[in-house]
Amino acid sequence: MSTPNVSKTFRRARRFSRPSPWVYLFLGVVLLASVFPFYWSFLIGSGDSYTVRDPHMSWLPGGNFWANVDKVVNDPSVNFWRALWNSIYSSTLIAVSVVFFSTLAGWAFSKLHFRGRGRLLVMVVATMAVPMQLGVVPLYIMFSELGWTGNIGAVIIPSLTSAFGVFWMTQYLRQAVPDELIEAARVDGASSFRSFLTVGVPAARPAAAMLGLFTFVSAWNNFFWPFIVLDRQDPTLPVALSLLQSGYFVDYSVVLTGVLLATAPLLLLFVFAGKQLVSGIMAGAVKG
């Protein structure tokens, strides 16, 4: 990958020129804008239903946060624990499946020779431009014929593979694995699947980690299709959030507490894996 080299040259070239304080001030403002909505949610979420309407609202959190948490998780119309479980379950399964099938397909597209390889890869890339809306009506009809509407499986199945994932792994494996390595494995008598496991999988690990993170985040945040196909009693977290607001009298202290609860797992993931996510976006972009 060329990124590390580029940034190293860059660092060397500009070693002496630290930017002016204005740059830091500007980035500080951007940082504040990025995290302020979280603080705002906490501010409202730690108040009561009147906090929102209070013109002299304090900028310090109130004492009602846990009471609001209790309201969210025990709201009978929202089914919070069920939603949390559905989100964890479906996002994990989707991430694992996308990583596995993308690595497998990426391995074939980048390292194995077969007829129609180029054309099939172009087809994979072309499918990325198709909007979700174009297929929802028949997809919904299909799943309701099968009796799967309302079932979390209807959310998982269409996402089990991803064109972006296949493309991403193909690009990565193409330059990460020298062809000689595969030939060596073949000469040693390894079957094609065995050489995938012993050569491909270890080489793919960094790209697979990034793909897994991305897939997990977008599956967790997905709304349009789960909102259509799931029952209100058996939602994912974004669908559950939409229910918090659906009543005629909306208590924003409860709604924004729900927002924080639904976002907390991803913030936690971001604290541990944010670095990889950042470098993943940057690496993908160079090739994009």
Partner 1 sequence: MPSHRSIAPQQNGRSALREKLTRWDVKTAPYLYIAPFFLIFIATGLFPIGYTAVISLMEWDMVRGTGEFVGFDQYWRVLSAPEFWIALRNTVSIFLLSTIPQLVAAIIIAAALDRNIRARTFWRMSVLVPYVMAPVAVALIFSNMFGDKFGLVNSLLTQLGMTSIPWHTDPFASHVAIATMVNFRWTGYNTLILLAAMQAIPREYYEAATVDGAGAIRQFLSITIPGLRGTLIFVVVTSTIGGLQVFDEPRMYDHTGTGGPDNQWLTIALYLYNVGWGEWDFGRAAAMAWILFALILLVGLINLIVTRGLVRDDSAAVAEDAGRRARRARRATHDNAQPVEEASR
Question: Judged by CB, which is closer to partner 1: 40, or 66?
Answer: 40
Q: Which of 58, 122, 193, 233 binds partner 1 (CB under 8 A)?
A: 193
Let me know how long the chain is: 288
Q: Which of 153, 178, 202, 274 binds partner 1 (CB under 8 A)?
A: 274
- Count of residues near partner 1 by CB under 8 A: 113
Exposure string for 257-268, b = 16+ CB within 10 A, e = fewer: bbbbbbbebbee
On whether the CB atoms of residues 229 and 149 are closer than 8 A, the answer is yes
Residue 10 near partner 1 by CB under 8 A: yes
- The Cα–Cα gap between 154 and 146 comes to 10
- Residue indicated by tokens 């690990």: 205
- Residue indicated by tokens 């604290």: 271
Residue 130 near partner 1 by CB under 8 A: yes
Residues 6+ apart with CB under 8 A from 29: none
278 φ, ψ (degrees, to nearest 5) = -60, -50
Question: Judged by CB, which is closer to partner 1: 41, or 86?
Answer: 41
Residue 41 near partner 1 by CB under 8 A: yes
Alpha carbon separation from 192 to 113, 119, 238, 281 (Å, rounded)? 12, 22, 42, 31
Residue 21 near partner 1 by CB under 8 A: no
Q: Which of 70, 77, 122, 132 binds partner 1 (CB under 8 A)?
A: 132
Q: Which of 55, 63, 76, 118 binds partner 1 (CB under 8 A)?
A: 55
- Stretch of 62-70, 71-79, 173-181, 215-223 lying at the interface with partner 1 (CB under 8 A): 215-223
Runs of H (alpha helix) within the chain: 3-13, 21-45, 65-73, 80-111, 117-126, 133-145, 153-156, 163-176, 179-187, 192-195, 201-221, 224-229, 237-244, 252-287
Residue 182 near partner 1 by CB under 8 A: no
**Residues numbered 137-166 forming contacts with partner 1, rule: CB under 8 A:** 137-142, 145, 157-158, 160-161, 163, 166
Question: Judged by CB, which is closer to partner 1: 151, or 161?
Answer: 161
- The Cα–Cα gap between 243 and 247 comes to 8
Residue 2 near partner 1 by CB under 8 A: yes
Structure tokens at 120: 């099939």
Q: Which of 76, 118, 131, 147 binds partner 1 (CB under 8 A)?
A: 131
Q: Which of 60, 129, 147, 180 binds partner 1 (CB under 8 A)?
A: 129
Question: Judged by CB, which is closer to partner 1: 70, or 132?
Answer: 132
Question: Judged by CB, which is closer to partner 1: 209, or 269?
Answer: 269
Residue 174 near partner 1 by CB under 8 A: no
**Residues numbered 90-119 forming contacts with partner 1, rule: CB under 8 A:** 101-102, 104-105, 107-109, 112-114, 117
- Residue indicated by tokens 């991403």: 168
Binding mask 225-264 for partner 1 (x = CB under 8 A): --xx--------xx--xx-xxxxx-x-x--xx--x--xx-
